[in-house]
Amino acid sequence: MRIAQFHTTDTEVGALALPADADLLLVFGARALLQSASLFPALRQACPDAVIAGCSTAGEICGTEVHDASLVITAVGFAATRVALVAATLELAGDSRQAGAALTAQLLGDQLRHVLVLSDGLAVNGSELVQGLRTSLPPGVNVTGGLAGDGADFGVTVVMADAPAVPHRIAAIGFYGERLRVGYGSLGGWDAFGPERLITRAEGNTLFELDGESALSLYKTYLGKQAEDLPSSGLLFPLALHLADADTYVVRTILGVDEGAQSMTFAGDMPVGARAQLMKANFNRLVDGAIGAAEGTLAQLDGQAPELAILISCIGRKLVLQQRIEEETEGVAEVLGARATLTGFYSYGEIAPRSALTRCELHNQTMTVTTFSEE
């Protein structure tokens, strides 16, 4: 595997010496830079045969460094792995499951090893997308990826899929080959507190009642004075969601509140009958969670050292860790070793199994690590 990585704040990328024989270009960056009219044509000219995919972010990861308002371009050449890209345009969030199912169905083929998904972060129902992605994949093949970001603005997110970056886009990359090894892991590190409560009224990703009471009122009671800063302060207090049909919990981040309806909108579905519990940040445990996610990938590589690592972490973690944010990328790098090139972004949602033995889910507030190695 041949990897070259570039960090820039300039969309005129012709001077970067991108390798012309690259098979894959991963491009993560600020929305304004990604939407520059000159960026994609320059990338295509530099790497005429590469699959080019990327998305807007809430922060870019280049090695152990975390940047804002920049571009991170990672060019990958494989020794014996083929990559293919398919994409869909999502007109309505209600079409998310159908779009996910169609994308993975198009990627089915001999020696399919893994699927990486980069999705619009605001127009999509992430939970439904993941359910669709799972429907047609054969045993042993899984999905990781994330939802695009737009800094802390939550305005518009864009995805690049062998074309200029646009909103409402979902890109899926298939990796094929007997010699490819893929590992993945996703952990949070948040501490749960307070009692578990039953979701008694919800519609999609909008939560109305817990234990028959106003969910928003209960939430504000626990937040105290910080409730004045909702919904932004909600990034510091996600919910642990215990799904009836899953082996473990997922984390859900609050995106908005409706005082009139006494409701809260989350980044993923809040199904009636599930149990929810409030969580709060613990600095050291957040970093430990990132390290644990990296450690979980290594056993899946059959003894091979990871060469490429794609890190997708939540904007909420970035807001909590602030100046300590690079502690989680440094912890991942220490686990994976000097051979691994790290790239990735801060997202509005992470897509991954928690471990090799669990199914793919939508997560919030986690660090997701996907590692690749060729024998």
The per-residue pLDDT for range 58-91, each reduced to its tens digit, is 999 999 999 999 999 999 999 999 999 999 999 8
CA dihedral 259, 261, 267, 273 (to 10 degrees): 130
> Which helix (H) or strand (E) covers residue 135, if one does?
none
Q: Kindly give, in sequence order, each residue whose CB lies less than 8 Å from that of residue 353, ignoring residues fewer than 6 positions away.
A: 142, 144, 184, 186, 359, 360, 361
The per-residue pLDDT for 245 is 65
Domain boundary among 280, 314, 333: 280
The per-residue pLDDT for range 180-231, each reduced to its tens digit, is 999 999 888 888 888 999 999 999 889 999 999 999 999 999 888 888 888 8
My answer on whether 58 and 177 are in the same domain is yes
**Considering its fold, how many domains does the chain have in total?**
2
Helix axes 96-107 and 126-134, enclosed angle (nearest 10)? 30
Q: Which of 302, 315, 301 is CA-nearest to residue 364? A: 315
pTM, two decimals, is 0.90
- Domain extent, residue 62, equals 2-187+284-374
My answer on whether 220 and 180 are in the same domain is no
pLDDT value at 246 more than 70: no
3-state secondary structure 283-310: HHHHHHHHHHHHHHHHHHHCCCCCCEEE
Q: Which residue has the tokens 């799972």?
A: 134
My answer on whether 199 and 326 are in the same domain is no
Beta bridge partners of 279: 192
Specify the amino acid at residue 77: G
My answer on whether 12 and 117 are in the same domain is yes
